[in-house]
Structure 1
Amino acid sequence: MKQKYERPTIKKMNTGLMNKFGTRTDFDPVEVIDGVPVKSLVADYGSPVFVLSEKQIRRNYQAAVRSFKTRYPKVQFAWSYKTNYLNAVCKIFHQEGSWAEVVSGFEYHKALGNGVAGNQIIFNGPDKKEADLIFAIENHSLIHIDHYDELYLLIEICKRINKTAKVAIRVNFDTGVYPTWDRFGFNYENGQAWTAINKIVAADHLELIGLHCHIGTFMLSTAAYSVAATKLCDLAIRCKTELQNPVQYLDLGGGFPSTNTLKGAYLPGVDTVPSVEDFADAITNTILNFGFATDELPLLILESGRVLIDDAGYLIGSVLANKRLSDGRRATIVDFGINILFTSNWYDHKISVAKEAGQYTEETVLFGPLCMNIDVVRESITLPLLERGDQVVVHKVGAYNMTQWMQFINMRPAVVLIDMQGKSHLIRKPETLAYLEMMEEVPDYLSN
């Protein structure tokens, strides 16, 4: 059998220059972010402080849209709120033309508050409350059904309020990547998805208009998306030919990786992670070649989050102390830990010094300030010698850290946005004791 032609590609490698002593590591200091000095950011907003680049966010979004729209005629992105739901961030994506993808009632109301039209909100997730479903139906939002209990609840609600809901189902399947995300949605291989589709089409107040999948997170296989697109297309064709119910869109979810380096990886992420163009090729080629008539091609929806914002985020922190561990290793303690840098559990983040440093370097353990032995930002990193009060800059922290962070021992810091003109704006205030105690109540007998 003749093998399918694959065009050759050239990829830039970023591993540094090799010599007899190993790989050379560069220590170019990061003294400014988008033209704003690191020292002035710390002086104005404190340390630690998260910094987001509006310029990079818009650049990432426009590049991703271009990658898909140059390959497929009907494309719509929907910003993944769980990735970073600060209102200023969401508004940037919505200004660029993105819809909203939410997975809770809380996120749904944030999207409405950010000016997103109800019919441009995709409501995903397994925990949709009855009140949230009613609100979504009344606002003509796209409800992606996750399980049978939700399906039956929707049928009952729609009958009770005498309104029709626009729905899709989430489908899970074997894409060759393990473990499979089969806890979400209806399974393709065992026929559960097709059964759910039939129940929806037979219901009086449900309109099946789409099919959805989300096959995983930080996915490194483009082939898995081709498999997913193939199986969604198969369901879409069956919907039209067997049920006379053509679907309007296919939602391939998110999961595209950023170029962060996963813990334990041999090469840096910039050398191993597929590009958005690679994923666009796999998905769009599959749909275009499946057999849809040109005028019946479904809208392609993408719910990307991490790949659009990770490299637009920085965390500036300061050195608290240096010490020697019992085994002789050097340790540096910084003023941020895993409570606010959640992704340090997944990645070996690139960390730069914020000043010109000497040539002497040493392997270092980078600890956070928490009174917990697991508060390790980097288990091993080669750094120049740093002194108390020096700043470091952690790269590619824009995704999930500002939604999965937690107040523990230390309070959560400020978040700053640098706009297109290089001006900094406070978009989330640092927490205070008064803020933390707002929700507390002390019984009368303990008040005196």
Structure 2
Amino acid sequence: MNPNIIFIVADDLGFADLGCYGGRDAKFGPVSPVLDALAAGGIRFTDGYANSPVCSPTRFALITGRYQYRLRGAAEEPISAGSKGSKTLGLPPEHPTVPSLLKKAGYKTALIGKWHLGYPPHFGPIRSGYDEFFGPMSGGVDYFTHCGGNGDHDLYLDEQQKKEEGYLTDLLSRHAVDYVDRMAAAREPFFLSLHYTAPHWPWETRDDAHVAPEVRTNLFHLHGGNIHTYHRMIHHMDEGIGWVMEALRRHGIADNTLVVFTSDNGGERFSDNWPLVGGKMDLTEGGIRVPWIAHWPAVIPAGSVSAQHCMTMDWSATVLQAARAAPDAEYPLDGQSLLQVLQSPGVQFDRPMFWRMKHRDQRAHRSGDWKYLRVDGHDYLFDVTTDARERANLAGRDPERLARMRQAWEAWNDTMPAIPADASVKLGYGIQDMPQR
């Protein structure tokens, strides 16, 4: 019997923000007890990566199972609200997606949460394989007014704006529970993308509902907030995931539901990335190495930990294989399925991975224990198994390895479209304090 699938994505969550990844407790206690329990009852990956250190490019890879660089919209770092009306900056509706391929395999599909892959009327979740959609089209929105940084209301039901009062994280969680209830009653196999905006700015908790909107405007991005608010935001998301898991158990379908959890990129202002350095917008480990948890009691042995190297699009391939959904032959997957690792966590296979960013002319390639990195024209070579903080640049000591890895990156890059000159970069937190040769 094919599993139900719930793919949960946090926004800007740091590598060590969860307790099961070594995160500290908050003032109120454990930050992520539900996710910690899912990891204990399933598998936790120590060397899992995002396809990009910024929001929408990773989401292109997630929904297509392919390197995001193949699509023009993903050259934006990330897509901005200013692209409304664009016919090019978004996910082409004709491109096969994980939800569209699962629909062909008999699944019901829904996206509850952040889309960030282009705006109607030319793009949107309903046009790319989802039967249902509830959430924001853009990147970050106010958790109470549901307006973006430009002041536009951004909460949709399918393609119609939806006014609904409440703290956005809780609204997404409750809609997810409702969806599980409806699918369980209909006895339909389902694929639910649950893409939270938490803990992305603005820095607001459930308890900030009484704060006037004109006061909350100073919470966007670099203003306001604190570590305690940030912890609460993660905890609210964790609670909501608990509500979804309870719905699965209530309907007796938890054992045969594959639940995957990750972040779209590394952490930002208040994130804990220890022991990694860097964060969002960086191809240092802190920008791309992220939590990966999978829970599927019928298949995954409890208490498993894997050092298998993987990235976002590998999970897209995994979902399709688990559901026995065939990829489109015209759009071959770049992702590699991890199903064998879920079934037998001791299994590992070689998985070279590549990245590039227009921001600061960055490039990266991980192969085995080693990572090649370029930032601002400077080349670095790290053994990230012994130097996860990327402090000891071994390029001078091992120039032959550096040359091989640089050549491998360039050969891979030759298979990808060039970055368009007009691709935009929304500057965020950048790399600092990189060691020199």
Normalised by the size of structure 1, how large is the TM-score?
0.30
Q: Which has the higher contact order (CA 8 A, sep 6+)?
A: 2
How high is the TM-score relative to the length of structure 2? Answer: 0.31
